[in-house]
Amino acid sequence: MSSAADSVRLSRVLMRTAEVFERRAGVAEEHAQSWEELGRGDKAAERRRVVRRAREAVLRARSEAARLERRRLELDERERRADERDRVADERERAADERERIADQRERAADERETRLYERLIREGAEPGSARVSASPAVDPRRLFEVFMRTAEVFERSAALAEEHARRCEERGRGDLAAEERGVAERVRVAARRARSEAARLEQRRLEKLLSEWLEIEKSRGAFTVRATEQKQLVSLGGLEVKTRADRVDRLADGREIILDYKTGQVKSRGWQGDRPDEPQLPLYCATSEGTIAGAAFALIRTGDLGFLGYTDAGAELPAMKKMEVDAPASFGEQVGAWRMVLEGLAVNFREGQADVDPKKGACEQCGLRALCRIREIEDARG
Ligand code: SF4
């Protein structure tokens, strides 16, 4: 039986069969009585054997129907629980997306507010790097860096325009105006250079601070050595050859290894889940590595948010680590086995040219082919 619907159909057939046998037993019983009245005990005994067999068939059919009904109820219950799990997972995903959206919105609004503030300060004549600019409220060095870079670009464009104006003045024989314009161009170019150098100074300071905070985290780890950085490999999986590159491979004191991937941007904590994971690189490296892998993690190097996000075996924990969500939390070895199966499945599908139109949630929003794609029609048809 492959589905609840099949179980229901077969159960009905069995109940009808039981009814037929019951009727047959009833008729045979009447015949047996008639034969007895006629004094034909032999014929009556033969009919009673028919009655017995028919009643046994009734019991068998009813018990099989009851078994199928129990099975159907179990399947229904399992399906209901799976639906409920999906619903809860969807709900969580929607809530997480919404939180991300609100955080993005807030960040954008803060960006805009700060950008407007810095631009106003600079427009009003405050020198880049001056106390007035740098001591502005809630200075985020990264945003300040961007403002200086944009300011430098604006100054450079202004200098080019002044140069162009000077050239035209010269063509019209107005050497005096041309000299004036060249003076403007030079002053603006100096301002652009100052803005760029201030941006570089800020960025250097930010990176030094970030690096020293990161090294504090690394120092709090147990003994390890960096075995490799930017390690490139050609691996084979599901009949497909794939190039991998691990940012860093650390060897622990007991010989096991941890694979690290540096990230300065956002990483989804659900990126290792499902049949088509969003962040398959580290699982792929773990699934194809020949060494004994004890963990994989993103090394998050972001201002105000440093630490690890990953999954490790017992005894290989990393400091300041948040756990990546996985489908069914298990030992690290079992998790690697699960990733291997998922990735082999994807590799086989790719090799066989399987290209179903089945985009993941949110994929279409980033896609450049939306104008040509008929996914909406397919989704409408699916209801
Ligand atoms: S818009 Fe079409 S091509 Fe693009 S991701 Fe969605 S389904 Fe794929």
Point out the ligand 1 atom lying closest to the alpha carbon of residue 357: 7
**pLDDT for 139:** 60
Residues 219-238: what's their mean pLDDT? 93
Residues 143 and 211 in one domain: yes
- Residue that terminates a domain, selected from 218, 243, 277: 218
Point out the ligand 1 atom lying closest to the alpha carbon of residue 374: 2
**pLDDT for 182:** 92
> Domain range spanning residue 339?
224-377
Closest residue CA from atom 6 of ligand 1? 364
Residues 3-29: what's their mean pLDDT? 85
Residues 206-232: what's their mean pLDDT? 93
Residue 147 lies in a domain: yes
**pLDDT for 282:** 96
Who has greater pLDDT, 223 or 112? 223
Choose which residue among 369, 372, 374 to substitute to test ligand 1 binding: the one with the highest number of ligand atoms within 8 A of its C-beta: 369
Point out the ligand 1 atom lying closest to the alpha carbon of residue 358: 7
pLDDT above 90 for 220 = yes
* Number of domains the chain contains: 3
Q: Decide: helix, strand or coil at residue 190.
A: helix
Who has greater pLDDT, 167 or 134? 167
What share of the chain has pLDDT > 70, as a percent? 91
pLDDT above 70 for 124 = no
DSSP 94-159: HHHHHHHHHHHHHHHHHHHHHHHHHHHHHHTTPPTT-HHHHTSTT--HHHHHHHHHHHHHHHHHHH
Per-residue confidence at 110, pLDDT binned at 50, 70, 90? Answer: confident
Considering only 111-125, 252-266, 321-335, which range has the smallest mean pLDDT?
111-125
Model pLDDT for residues 47-59, shown as the tens digit of each residue: 999 999 999 999 9
Residues 151 and 65 in one domain: no
Residues 247 and 357 in one domain: yes
**pLDDT for 1:** 43
pLDDT above 80 for 16 = yes
Point out the ligand 1 atom lying closest to the alpha carbon of residue 370: 1
C-alpha 363 to ligand 1 mean position (Å): 7
**pLDDT for 122:** 61
**pLDDT for 260:** 97
What share of the chain has pLDDT > 90, as a percent? 47
Per-residue confidence at 335, pLDDT binned at 50, 70, 90? Answer: very high
Closest residue CA from atom 8 of ligand 1? 359
Model pLDDT for residues 82-101, shown as the tens digit of each residue: 888 888 888 888 888 888 88
Residue 320 lies in a domain: yes
Residues 179 and 268 in one domain: no
Choose which residue among 375, 377, 379, 380 to substitute to test ligand 1 binding: the one with the highest number of ligand atoms within 8 A of its C-beta: 375
Residue 342 lies in a domain: yes
pLDDT above 90 for 329 = no
Considering only 76-85, 272-281, 341-350, which range has the smallest mean pLDDT?
76-85
Residues 206-226: what's their mean pLDDT? 93
Residue 331 lies in a domain: yes
Residues 214 and 252 in one domain: no
pLDDT above 60 for 78 = yes
**pLDDT for 304:** 81
- Residue that terminates a domain, selected from 179, 201, 218: 218
Residues 277 and 304 in one domain: yes
Residues 146-175: what's their mean pLDDT? 90
Residues 190 and 228 in one domain: no
pLDDT above 80 for 117 = no
**pLDDT for 123:** 63
pLDDT above 70 for 365 = yes
User: What's the count of helices (H) and strands (E) in the chain, helices before strands?
Assistant: 8, 6
Residues 194 and 247 in one domain: no
**pLDDT for 51:** 92
C-alpha 278 to ligand 1 mean position (Å): 16
C-alpha 352 to ligand 1 mean position (Å): 20
Residue 169 lies in a domain: yes
Residue 332 lies in a domain: yes
Residues contacting ligand 1 via CB (< 6 Å): 357, 359, 363-364, 367, 369-370, 373, 375
Q: How much is the mean pLDDT over the chain?
A: 87
Point out the ligand 1 atom lying closest to the alpha carbon of residue 369: 4
Residues 169-192: what's their mean pLDDT? 90
Residues 237 and 346 in one domain: yes
pLDDT above 90 for 249 = yes
Instruction: Please state, in angstroms and rounded to a whole number, the distance separating the CA atoms of residues 358 and 67.
Output: 38
C-alpha 379 to ligand 1 mean position (Å): 12
Residue 112 lies in a domain: no
Per-residue confidence at 79, pLDDT binned at 50, 70, 90? Answer: confident
Instruction: Please state, in angstroms and rounded to a whole number, the distance separating the CA atoms of residues 328 and 89.
Output: 13
Q: Work out the angle at residue 334's Cα, subtended by the Cα atoms of residues 328 and 335, and round it to the nearest 5 degrees.
A: 55
Residues 264 and 352 in one domain: yes
Residues 135 and 259 in one domain: no
Model pLDDT for residues 277-319, shown as the tens digit of each residue: 999 999 999 999 988 999 999 999 988 889 999 999 999 999 9
Residues 232 and 355 in one domain: yes
Point out the ligand 1 atom lying closest to the alpha carbon of residue 364: 6
pLDDT above 80 for 118 = no
C-alpha 356 to ligand 1 mean position (Å): 11
Residues 35-58: what's their mean pLDDT? 91
Closest residue CA from atom 5 of ligand 1? 364
- Residue that terminates a domain, selected from 170, 195, 218: 218
Residue 111 lies in a domain: no
Residue with tokens 């650390």: 250
Q: Which amino acid is at 123?
A: R
Choose which residue among 367, 374, 377, 382 to substitute to test ligand 1 binding: the one with the highest number of ligand atoms within 8 A of its C-beta: 367
Point out the ligand 1 atom lying closest to the alpha carbon of residue 359: 7
Contact 143, 111 (CB under 8 A): yes
Strands ordered across the beta sheet of 240-252: 224-237, 240-252, 257-263, 293-302, 305-312, 321-323
